[in-house]
Structure 1
Amino acid sequence: MRLPPSSKMADEDDPVTHEIDVYLSKSLAENLYLLQYLVRPSHLNYDEVKPLNVKVKPNQKEIQLELPVNTRTPNYAYSKGEQMALIVDGEYKPTDENFFNSNVMDKTVLASGPCTASTERYAVGVYKEGELHLTPLNAISQIRPSFSYMDRADSKQKILNTKQPEGGESSQEEEEEEAKPVRLKFARHETVEAKARRMASYDYLKKKRDEEQWINVKYHSIHDDKALSERNLLFAAKNHEVTEFNISTWEYLEKLMPPVTEKHKEKPALPNNILSLSQLRTMPLQEQVKALLINAKVIQFRQLLALLPRGTDPTAVIRCLQQVAVLVQGCWVVKSEILYPKDTTSPHSGVSAEHLCRGRDYLMWRFLHSSHVTRKEISFVIKLPAEDVKDILEQMSRVRASHGWEFIFEYDKEFCSRYSEIVQRQKVLWEAKFQTLCKQLKINPKEVEKKCKEQPSPEKPKKPRTPTKSRKRTLSGRSISDHSDVETDNPDKVIHIKEESDDDDGGCEIVEVNHEGSHSMSNGPSSREGSGGMYNSNGNASKELLHELHLFVRDKLYSRYVLTLSELKRLFHLKLTQCQSGHILGTGVSDIMLEQAVIDVGGVKVNNLWPPSSNIDEPVFTVVKNGDYLDPMREVLIDLFRASCRVRSNVFKKKLEETIGDNATNYTDNDYKKLLRDYCVTKGCSWYLKGTYTEDS
């Protein structure tokens, strides 16, 4: 191809001085290797050395060369060569199993690793008679000395140890090994993500590398006739049309020198139960609702509105909800078709998505008529493996002793009374779906409806009975009793919203929505009757709970020095997300208990005068005595904040001199700055207690 001079380039500063024809040859494109000898000087090449053996792995693009070693040169250490041969081959015997051909080290091995460098932008060029012929490279191999033959000594020793019987007994006297039962294992269905991770692992790549066999090839020197004929293939035929160059000049230049694009670093994927609030707000309303439903599985309408941007139209939200969810007991449950798309299978058992959707829909229909179900009864109808049944149950229910599985939320009377038309429409849809389920599951609709009528309605749940007998379990985790499930370790589901913030702990802002539909301080019940280990027989908080609460409050208070009640509650929420299920702190902690814990660990409640325009009204807790030499300064600073919402540094110094007199000279300017930065934030010339100042103040 001849590149014509461009009008933009043909100026006086950058003239075109010469033009050449460029040809592309592909005759050797699939077999052309570039060998780089990294530990060999350029003036000491191997052109005059004829290899003893050459092997390649075409798929892995590996090369191995065996080169002879001149053992007669005065530079060769003959004793060292004999020692090396003895280590590798043992005592010399002329056999084919020997690596070396004599009793000394008479050859060396050069090998390359798997080819990882990209060769898309590399080619071998030959310039002849004013023409440039290019051939794309297939691989770039970096050749280094290989000492893999040193492992032969270890492998030989292992073989000898295996063949030699213990105690000198002959193999005939050895007793036969006792027959042992063989356990068959069936591999679980592998997801696409798991398969991609497995295929990118080192073990998998090494296995593929070892599986490919070496292929012996014939070596031709640089002066051989065969080598000359192969080099001629680097020249393209004149009548061969090169389609790659049938483009305009500027397109060719762009392909030759593509523009530099910045690679944006991808953020790591969040866990399945975590949503990024910043990413969520960039989605359309339909996608926001779908994302929240997929993560929460079940959600109440007021919860959903609280998580969506402020001012979102409830009518538009309901319109989106009906496309991705169905109504069960006044709550919205994500549709089964969204959780189990078509042509997918269960990660536990490999059951098709069609059967999973069918079983999950039947469970939702049962929860329409009863707030409790038993796993045995559900499994008998939907006929799914135990792992899938438990997974579906955990999505929308929780275990209650002597009751089985209870729907995760109470009946939402508020939504049903306000949107009666939506409730009626969903009822009609469920009636049609139930008829379809009866045909698919081959059940008698009259018998199922009769059982549902015998159970209490979800609007008026039956009063729970006191369990009289605990259930026994086998080692596999299955229950001996057939009446209900009583596992109590099933944690309540929460929605975690991740929001980037500049928190002092480096953590993330997490909004936690519990099953009661409100932002709460605990994972468990708030009343004394349902708090389990929170209260003792006298109605007081247990010592274990108070001990853990004091440890938490002490750690946060003495590391931050100033805490508002809302900030303390936020840190407590964060602590609960890091605790394991069943932790004592999750049994219920009220605001009063938090305030009392601050006082118990030595904190002080400041009757602070808030900035008038901040509209903030909550307690502020701080540390007055920390047991160091700055305690007098702390007392003076807190006394100033009891009288005013802001303090100036010069007023603070003057007040300290009036209080402690000549002892004030013992404190340096760094002490003043450290104390003010620990307790306050600055705005202008004034200092405010942390948490009390807002931009509107």
Structure 2
Amino acid sequence: MRPSFSYLDTVDTRVKTEQAAADAGDSSQEEAEEDAKPITVKFSRPESDEAKARRMASYEFHRHKYDGESWVPVEYHGLQDDMAVSERMLLQATQGDDLSEFQLFPRDYLARLVPPHVEEREEKPAMPSNILSLSQLRTLPLADQIKALLTNVKVIRFSQLMALLPQGTDTVSALRSVQQVAVLVQGCWVVKSDILYPKEVCSPHSGVSSEYLCRGRDYMMWKFTQSRHVIRKDISSIVKLPAEDVKDILEQMSKVKASKGWEFLFDYDKEFTDKYCEIVQRQKMLWDAKYQSLSKQFKIPKEAEKKSKAGEQSVGHTDKPRRRRTSSKSSPSKRERTLSGRSLSDHSDVEMEAAKNVAAGPVNITVEPMEVCDSNHVIANGPIAELTNSVVVENGGKCSSDLKQALIAFSRDILRDRLIFPLHELKRLFALKLQMCSPGHVLGCGVSDKQLEESLIEAGGIRLNNQWPPNSTNEPLFALLRKGDQYDTIRGVLFDLFRSSYQIRKEAFRKRIEEKTGQELSDADCKKLMREYCVVKAGGWWYLKGTVSES
């Protein structure tokens, strides 16, 4: 029954043909016959499935399909025609038929045909949104239980976590699960930022994206691994988040203390750190690696970092009242200082919100003086120091054979992949290695800087004794000297040049090779070898990787 307007097309075509004939009669009678033109033959490429689908969905294809359908002749019968009346009578039932289903009023029939939608609602007791039902919680798997608890309370001790889990829960399984969703701060577990702020979440106060919230929250947690107290003003100057967001994050893990700033919510959990030294050390390495990333993102100057490490109060020490200095000969007062160098005793740094009621956390605890960890134990998340000062190695400092083999294998992989790297990069890679290791791995028993350096040397690397550029950190560099090819001797010549200068030129390197080995190195080989260990800057000067910024 599709309408057709072909007669309109016929009239339009006839008019155009007559007009074209009239125009051609006037101008083409005296013109010669047109010259023959070459015809180009084109072969179409095989049609892909995607192109075929697009062609079949186009209007042109459907129009050709409709035009190709054959017309079916239909005879029309009027309303009162005999044929129409007889067909219409077939739609009516006779009295002999069973019509029990239709003995209904129209409204009832319609209700049966299309029943109304009934919404079933279960009456559930109204509960506050911040309360977690333990009965519902224990129906979940262990990993989901721990994730729900940490998301709800934000900060918790491990002993409190085990008390909330079902009786008989395996401690090893709980430790494995809690490390997936939380990080260790002062011996307590704090939920990870990416769990609390997923990618699609924004700040309810300012609309800041989750990426900036996670970055700022990680920096605040790192600050609490360094000190019992932080100052909100100093935090805001680094993370550049709105004041409401900074306050909201601080309230999750700390409380306001007069003349101190913000104090971490719980006391240092020495019991946990003494019992699980392996996990504590792994978390310490993870925080070191995390800070390396945060310092680059926030562009924290090295001077401020050193001042912060030197002046802040160590985690695990008892807070003592400050005494007035009576004379210049007396011992210097131990005053906590912020990144800006101001003392926490200054009135300008005192938080004005000390009178407000701040949530004390999910579990009420008694505030006790912090216990001082003796030298026989690892202090979890304390001030960043050399691994030799913070790691306890079993068996009197002697590396077991299994640990030694694991360290050499790790060092061999790093040297083969990086060729040259500074000490902080070595620590970061080792922290990532620990994160991928399963609990109980031999690398988690404690490793010092000296053991890492010895394993690097046994794996074929060397510690470079070179010059550093001005404003450099003078951090030790490690490199792979021998790869087993013809350039081993030439690499030694390259490293010797950097002993007397922190920058060299390619021509000087080639000249020194000729003097030392008598070989002539092509420009391409010289450039290839130098790019493995060096970066080139403006002016054609070459520097060792790790001594200058490569940007």
Q: With structure 2 as the length reference, what TM-score do the two structures score?
A: 0.42
The structure, 1 or 2, with the larger RCO (C-alpha pairs under 8 Å, 6+ apart) is 2
Determine which structure has the larger helix proportion and give its number. 2
Determine which structure has the larger strand proportion and give its number. 1
Q: With structure 1 as the length reference, what TM-score do the two structures score?
A: 0.34
